Amino acid sequence: MSAYFEIRNLKIDYKTYEKQQRVLDIERIAIEKGKTYGIVGESGSGKTVLALAIMGLLPCPPGIIKSGEIIFDGQDLLKKKNKEMGEKYRGNRIAMIFQDPMSTLNPVFTVGYQMIQIIKQHQKLNKKEAYKKAIEMIEVVKLPDVDDIMKKYPHQLSGGQRQRIIIAMALACGAEFLIADEPTRNLDVTIQASILKLMKELQKKFGVTVLFIANNLSLVSTFCDEIGILHNGKIVEQGRVEEVIKSSKNTYTKILIDSVTKGESVTKKKQEKDEVLLEVKSLKKYFPVKKRKSSKLFVKAVDDVDLKIYKGEVVGIVGESGCGKSTLVNTILNLHEPTSGQVLFDGKNIFELDKNQLRKTRKDIQIVFQDPYWSLNPRWLVKDIISEPIKVHEKLNSISILKRVEDLLELVGLPKSSAFKYPHEFSGGQRQRIAIARALAVNPKLVVLDEPTSSIDVISQAQILELLKELRGRLRLTNILISHDLSVVNYLADKVVIMYLGKIVEYGEAIEVFNNPLHPYTKALFNSIPSLESSGIESLVTLEGNVPSAINPPSGCRFHTRCSMANERCSKEMPAMKVYNDNHSAACFLYEQ
């Protein structure tokens, strides 16, 4: 007697030019009906292979299913012919939700059209009935203005809305088994929380069994009943969430848990001289909206921001997508021209420098980008990548350059032989190290880290953070750290800045802000992030509504439309940054003295 969904002895190989590798070797996974099972694995662990294999979508070749069974409701899916899978199972009983809803939805058809098509195909209803069903499901996923939504195209919806549509599609066809492969990876934290809550509700309501795949341990453990840890194609540990987390037996699991919790340890505060390195004054950056030739509309990406960064500090900038943190940083780096305002670096306004002086300033401000894959030129050797800034700003001969490169590699913990390799020969984490080495190549005064860990694996993340901490101690750099991951900011930053819709809403020392958030947005933000300690999805705070448009931001306090504590004044007046105590300030009327 097998469980509702069971995988037995599944062995899958992948054949590449060089060799044939075993990518999946699962002894047993069993899921009861109506339960949620989470699979946690890093990239390359085989989770996508698993998902595709279940759906019968694994490309063979290069995949080779050597042995095993996937039992679903008594039937072995691996033995089914493709036709049968397509007619009876795929889309019907088993539905899959992918990571990127934009690529799942066809951009040239309206959302309504696509929903109706799918319903018609799987449920054999006529157009009218299908339309009704579609509306029903969209309401189920809690999207308002259903008729309006049906007429919209995917690109006109936000990421969260799109993902809800995908869920609606999955449920509309009566799926009883849902495979969710990183469904919230591309979404903001607050949106993520609401999607997860929705999924949990629907699961209970429709009795759907969920297989949830992600690389975020906190996320999976918050959402699921049982989890399995996937490492190098094998399930190294599985069981109920509490058991696995609290009393894990496997080494890898332990490392994983450590990496996650590490980020929440207390950071040291640095005593520094009060010398200002970078000062931002009333900075505004508006992008013209190119809808029509004469547009007076602007995207107010950064709207009147003041900021002071002292030497030796690490300042974290936190905010969700669209808050303006990337634009702020790009403007500081002079990759954008500001609409108004000043940026003073070492006392000089960088926008008033001539070409030569600007070049010298560039030497002092370096950046590590978010994406370790494309921030390095794939056709350059590592040594050329790292030495590029050296060649631009200094005049060294090639032997000295090579020496410097080797020193830098050592500094970031990579072997010297890396210098003559190509980026694609390294993992994500290692590439990020290369990027860091490059940033440090010319001894800059300020290093900006733009989401340095978001695109890499949990374990590598932890290592990178360790490295950054170490470097900071050794080199006494000043850093600006942008992240949406609070644990990262918590780990490294001295001060933290919270941004919302182009404005700074809260500012202060990291420990202070984290322990005692003032601004309602900050509170909501902190509480919507799942952690290993959170007791289930229900405990997450969700923010209603979407982030308002930056072209036409709300009047008065930007956040008042979504704030549970807003009053009339909030919609009329803009609150200024008021110091609460010491270095902690917030822009909210609640804290007016």
Partner 1 sequence: MDTRINNLLEIIRPRIKEIRFSFYLLKKNKLTLAAFYIIVTLIVLAVLAPYVIPYPSHISDEANVANKLLPPSREFLFGTDELGRDIFSRVIYGIRISLTTAILAVGLAIIIGVPLGAIAGTIGGWADEVIMRITDIFLSFPPLLLAIAIVSIVGSSLNNAIMAIALSWWPWYTRLVRGQAVSLKERKFIQAAEAIGTSKWKIIFSHVVPNTISPVIVQASMDMGGVILTIASLSFLGLGAQAPTPEWGLMINTSRNYFLNAWWYSIFPGLAIFITVLVFNLLGDGFREIMDPKTRKR
Please report whether residue 20 would count as binding partner 1 according to CB under 8 A: no
- Residue from the set 311, 393, 445, 578 that interacts with partner 1 by CB under 8 A: 393
- Residue from the set 153, 252, 287, 422 that interacts with partner 1 by CB under 8 A: 422
CB 268 within 8 A of CB 491: no
Please report whether residue 366 would count as binding partner 1 according to CB under 8 A: yes
Smallest gap from Cβ 392 to partner 1, in A, equals 5
The one-character DSSP state at 457 is -
Question: Which runs of E-coded beta strand occur in 46-157?
Answer: 63-72, 75-76, 94-97
Please report whether residue 346 would count as binding partner 1 according to CB under 8 A: no
The one-character DSSP state at 294 is S
Consecutive H or E run containing 361: helix 355-364
> How many H-runs (helices) and E-runs (strands) does the chain carry?
21, 22
Smallest gap from Cβ 18 to partner 1, in A, equals 9
Mark the segment that binds partner 1 (CB under 8 A) among 266-274, 345-353, 376-384, 515-523: 376-384
Measured CA to CA, the distance from residue 486 to residue 506 in angstroms comes to: 14
- Using the structure block, give the residue that is written with the tokens 């590598």: 460
Please report whether residue 404 would count as binding partner 1 according to CB under 8 A: no
CB 92 within 8 A of CB 174: yes
Please report whether residue 421 would count as binding partner 1 according to CB under 8 A: yes
Smallest gap from Cβ 424 to partner 1, in A, equals 6
Closer residue to partner 1 in complex, CB, 252/380:
380
Question: Which runs of E-coded beta strand occur in 298-347?
Answer: 298-310, 314-318, 340-345
Smallest gap from Cβ 129 to partner 1, in A, equals 41
Please report whether residue 295 would count as binding partner 1 according to CB under 8 A: no
Please report whether residue 388 would count as binding partner 1 according to CB under 8 A: yes
- Using the structure block, give the residue that is written with the tokens 């009943």: 225
Both tokens of residue 296? 């007076």
> 578 pairs with which residues across the strands?
586
Mark the segment that binds partner 1 (CB under 8 A) among 288-296, 392-400, 478-486, 571-579: 392-400
Mark the segment that binds partner 1 (CB under 8 A) among 174-182, 319-327, 358-366, 565-573: 358-366
Measured CA to CA, the distance from residue 306 to residue 342 in angstroms comes to: 9
- Residue from the set 438, 560, 562, 584 that interacts with partner 1 by CB under 8 A: 438
Instruction: Provide φ and ψ at 73, rounded to 5°.
Output: 50, 45
Please report whether residue 268 would count as binding partner 1 according to CB under 8 A: no
Closer residue to partner 1 in complex, CB, 9/357:
357
Please report whether residue 4 would count as binding partner 1 according to CB under 8 A: no
Please report whether residue 378 would count as binding partner 1 according to CB under 8 A: yes
CB 115 within 8 A of CB 137: yes
Closer residue to partner 1 in complex, CB, 21/516:
21
Measured CA to CA, the distance from residue 256 to residue 284 in angstroms comes to: 42
Q: Which of 539, 564, 530, 561 is nearest to 548 (CA)?
A: 561
Please report whether residue 377 would count as binding partner 1 according to CB under 8 A: yes
Mark the segment that binds partner 1 (CB under 8 A) among 164-172, 187-195, 379-387, 487-495: 379-387
516: number of Cβ within 10 Å? 13
Q: How many residues touch partner 1 (CB under 8 A)?
A: 34
Q: Which of 484, 44, 88 is nearest to 233 (CA)?
A: 44
Closer residue to partner 1 in complex, CB, 444/553:
444
- Residue from the set 57, 60, 392, 475 that interacts with partner 1 by CB under 8 A: 392
Please report whether residue 379 would count as binding partner 1 according to CB under 8 A: yes
Measured CA to CA, the distance from residue 43 to residue 38 in angstroms comes to: 15
Please report whether residue 52 would count as binding partner 1 according to CB under 8 A: no
Closer residue to partner 1 in complex, CB, 17/79:
17
Please report whether residue 380 would count as binding partner 1 according to CB under 8 A: yes
Mark the segment that binds partner 1 (CB under 8 A) among 83-91, 271-279, 414-422, 502-510: 414-422
Q: Which of 70, 83, 103 is nearest to 177 (CA)?
A: 70
Cα–Cα separations (whole angstroms), residue 237 to 11, 198, 221, 247: 17, 28, 13, 11
Exposure string (b/e) for 101-139, b if CB count within 10 Å is 16 or more?
Answer: beebbeeeebbbebbbebbbebeebeeeebbebbbebbe
Please report whether residue 19 would count as binding partner 1 according to CB under 8 A: no
- Residue from the set 262, 308, 363, 578 that interacts with partner 1 by CB under 8 A: 363
Rg over CA atoms, the chain: 26
Closer residue to partner 1 in complex, CB, 93/393:
393
Mark the segment that binds partner 1 (CB under 8 A) among 37-45, 165-173, 371-379, 512-520: 371-379
Mark the segment that binds partner 1 (CB under 8 A) among 159-167, 275-283, 373-381, 512-520: 373-381
- Residue from the set 58, 307, 333, 464 that interacts with partner 1 by CB under 8 A: 333
CB 376 within 8 A of CB 362: no
CB 491 within 8 A of CB 262: yes
Please report whether residue 374 would count as binding partner 1 according to CB under 8 A: yes
Q: Which of 120, 524, 465, 467 is nearest to 319 (CA)?
A: 524
- Residue from the set 127, 424, 569, 572 that interacts with partner 1 by CB under 8 A: 424
Measured CA to CA, the distance from residue 592 to residue 578 in angstroms comes to: 7
Please report whether residue 376 would count as binding partner 1 according to CB under 8 A: yes
User: What does the binding site for partner 1 look like in residue numbers (CB under 8 A)?
Assistant: 17, 333, 335, 359, 362-363, 365-367, 369-371, 374-381, 388-389, 392-393, 399, 402, 419-422, 424-425, 435, 438
